[in-house]
Structure 1
Amino acid sequence: MSLAQRRILLGVSGGIAAYKSCELVRRLRDLGAEVRVVMTEGATHFVSATTFQALSGQPVRMSLWDAEAEAAMGHIELARWAERILIAPASADLIARLAHGLANDLLTTVCLASAAPLYVAPAMNQQMWAHPAVQANVDTLRQRGVHLLGPASGDQACGDIGSGRMLEPMELREAMVASLGHAVLRGRKVVVSAGPTYEDIDPVRFIGNRSSGRMGFAVAEAAAQAGAEVTLVAGPVSLATPPGVAHRVDVRSATQMRDAVVAATANADIYIGAAAVGDYRPAEVSDHKIKKRDGAALELSLAENPDILGTLAAQTVRPFLVGFAAETHDVERYARDKLARKGLDMIAANQVGGGLGFEAADNALTLYGPEGAIELPRASKTELARQLVAKIAERYAAVRG
C-alpha cells in the first residue's frame, strides 16, 4: 500500500474521538501521504493544534479570520490543494452544517469551495446517531455523493453501547488507500444486485422482505472505488445511487431482477448477488383490491420464483459468481450447501436478526470458497463492503487472472 505524495486534508471537529485523529495523521504519513489539518473551535478543547502540527509537519489552520493566511485567500488554496477531504471525527453539529450548506467556519467553507471527494467519519453518542434529524442529514450527504465511513458499533466514552463510534485510524487509512491507491478491479465489469423484491398480491398489497439494500449499495460503491465499471440492479429501495456507479437498473419483482441481471451480466466479469430475492410469489395476481370477507380466511397459492444465481451458473460462459446467504440459524451449513448446489465461486454468509443484517447499520460476514472460510468481523456495512470487495478481487485474480 502506498499514499506517496497524495494530498489529504484532515478535518477534525469537536468530540472525544479527536484523540484518534492524532494516530490517523501518523498512519497516513507512514504511507507517504501529505496531510494538512483543519480544526474546528470545538476540536481544540480535546486536542491541541500543536499536537497535529508536530505529527503532520504542517501548520494547522483553525480560523476563517486568520488575517495572514486569508490575505492570500488561504481557504481557497487549501480547497484546491486537497485530493481528498476526510473529516474525522465528524460530530452531529458538523454533519448538520454540511448538510445545510453552511460556511460559518474554515472547515465547512473549505468543503464548499473544494471539488475534492469528501469523506466523513461520524462519531457521537448512539442515541444522537439514531436521531431522525441526524439520519436525515446523513441521507442528504449521501445523496450528494459524500462518502460516509462508519460509524462502528461498540462501547462509547459516555458509557453507552451502540452505533456511533468513529472507525479506527487503520480502517480510515484503508478507505483512503482504496480511494487513492490500488484499483484492484480496474478494467473489470461488475454487476451487483441489491435490496428486496416485492411480489404483488393485488394493486395495493405485496409480499416482500425487510432488506434495506444498504449492504448491496455499499458493495456497489466499494467495487466502483476499486476501479470497476459497476452496474447496480436495485430492488424497491429509497437509496441514492452510490458515487461512481456507472449504471443503475431499478426493478420490483424477482422475475424483473432475473431479467435485468441476465442482461447486465452478458459481458460482465463478476456478479455479486447481494439482493434478498423472494423465494415465492403469488401464483395469481388480482386486478382489483381483494376485499375483506368477515370471518373468511384468505388463502394464497404461491409459485416458486426464478433462481438468479442458478440461471447464471448454468450458462456455458458465466461471470465469477458471488452469492449471499442470510440465515437465522445453521448459517455455515446452509451457506456451504448453497455454495456447492449452485456452483458458486464464493458465498458471503451472515446471520440475520439480533441486531445484524436487515435494518441494521452493522453487519458481519463469513466468506466460503475453495480456499476455506474467511471471517469478516462485525463492522459498518461500508467498511465490510470494502473488505468483501478486496477478497473478491483477490480470489478473482487467482482463478481468472
Structure 2
Amino acid sequence: MLQGKNILITAGPTKEAIDPVRYISNHSSGKMGYAIADVCLQNGANVTLVSGPVCISLLHEHLKLVQVQSANEMYLACCRYFEEADIVVFAAAVADYRPAVIANQKIKKNDEDFFIRMVKNIDIAYEFGQIKQPHQLSVGFALETNNELQHAIGKLEKKNFDMVVLNSMNDAQAGFGFDTNKISIIRNDQTRVEFDLKPKSEVAIDIVNEAASLHQAKENFVKSLI
C-alpha cells in the first residue's frame, strides 16, 4: 500500500546550542524513526528522513536524508518537503525550549550559580497540523511518564494527528536508548490498539501497517467525494 508514496519522517533528538561548545539535548537515539523509515523503504515508498544528530546509518536509493541539528533547522527542512508528503511521521524528540541567547564565546566557570533563560521552540507537529490537507496522514508520538493516555489524546487533538504512538517511560526496556519498545496506537476516533514489548524493527512494522491502512481509508474517502 506504500508503493510510490512519499513519506516524510523526523527522527532523533535536536541540539540547542548554549555556546560554541555546549548544548541542550535529550536521550533520543533515533532508532524508532530510522526503523520506521527502513520499513517504509522496504515497502516501496520514497522516504525523506529529516534527522537530528544520531549514530545510525541508513542507505537506500529511494531515501533522501536531511541532517539537522536544532529544532529550527528541523522545521525549515520539513517545510521544504511537507507539501509533497502523503504520510508524515513525527518521530523526532524535538527540544521544547532553546537558550534565548547563544554565547559567541565559551562561557567561563565563575559563579556558584548559572542561569540560562529559555524560550519556546516552534512546535513542528502543531504547525503542520494546521495546514495538513485531507489526503495527508500524520503520525505523532507521545513518550510520557504520567497520565499517559490523557496526554496522548491531548496531543492527538491539539496537533491534528490521525494517530498517536504512545509509550511510557514506566515500561521496562522501552523508550530512549533501548532496542525494544512497547506501544499503544491511538487513532483519531480514540480507538486504541495495544502491543507487547518487541524489537523496534518489529514495532516499526506495526506502526507502518496501521498508518498505511488509515491512509488507504482516507484516500478512499477523499475519492468518494470527487
Q: TM-score, normalised on structure 2?
A: 0.92
1:314-353 counterparts in 2 under 5 A?
314-315=130-131, 317=133, 319-352=136-169
Q: How does 1:10-25 map to 2 (within 5 A)?
A: none
In the TM superposition, residue 304 of structure 1 has moved relative to its aligned partner by 0.3
What's the offset of the Cα at 1:352? 2.2
**Partner SS, residue 2 of structure 2:** coil
State the match for 2:37 in structure 1.
Answer: 220
Give 1:246 deviation, angstroms: 1.7
Q: Of 344, 348, 356, which aligns to 2:174?
A: 356
Aligned residue in 1 for 2:121? 305
Counterpart Cα distance in 1 of 2:159 and 2:66: 25
- Alpha-carbon offset, residue 222 of structure 1: 0.7
- For the structure 1 residues 202 and 373, does the alpha-carbon distance in structure 2 shift closer, same or farther, using more than 3 Å as the test? same
Within the candidate set 287, 306, 315, 2:104 is matched to 287
Kept after mapping to 2: 8 A contact 1:254/1:305: yes
Query: Structure 2, unaligned stretches of length 5 or more?
Result: 221-226
Contact 2:153/2:190 (CA < 8 Å) preserved in 1?
no
Q: Distance in 2 between matches of 1:321 and 1:221?
A: 18
- Give the match's secondary structure for 1:267: coil
CA displacement 1:221-265 (0-9 Å, x = unmatched): 011112111111100111112545520000000000011112111
- Pick from 57, 63, 73 the counterpart of residue 246 of structure 1: 63
Separation in 2, partners of 1:244, 1:324: 27
Shift of 1:316: 5.8
Q: RMSD of the alignment, in Å?
A: 1.4
- Looking at structure 2, the residues matched to 241 and 263 of structure 1 have their Cα atoms a distance apart, in angstroms, of 21
- CA distance in 2 between partners of 1:273 and 1:245 (Å): 19
Q: Report the Cα distance in structure 1 between the residues aligned to 2:192 and 2:177, rounded to whole angstroms.
A: 26
Distance (whole Å) between structure 2 residues aligned to residue 329 and residue 222 of structure 1:
30
Which residue is 2:223 aligned to? none
> Any conservation in 2 of the 1:220–1:242 contact (CA below 8 Å)?
no
Number of the residue aligned with 2:4: 187
Q: Distance in 1 between matches of 2:103 and 2:64?
A: 33
Q: Could you list the runs of 5+ residues in structure 1 that have no partner in the other structure?
A: 1-183
Q: Which has the higher contact order (CA 8 A, sep 6+)?
A: 2
Structure (1/2) with the larger helix percentage: 1
1:376 has 2:191 as partner = no
**Count of residues in correspondence between the two structures:** 217
Would you say the 8 A contact 2:9–2:48 is kept in 1? yes
* TM-score, normalised relative to structure 1: 0.53
Determine the structure 2 residue equivalent to 1:45.
none
Q: Which of the residues 175, 178, 198 maps onto 2:15?
A: 198
Q: Give percent identity, aligned residues only.
A: 37
Q: 1:232 pairs with 49, 62, 85, which one?
A: 49
Q: Runs in 1 of length 4+ with deviation above 2 angstroms? A: 242-245, 316-319, 352-355
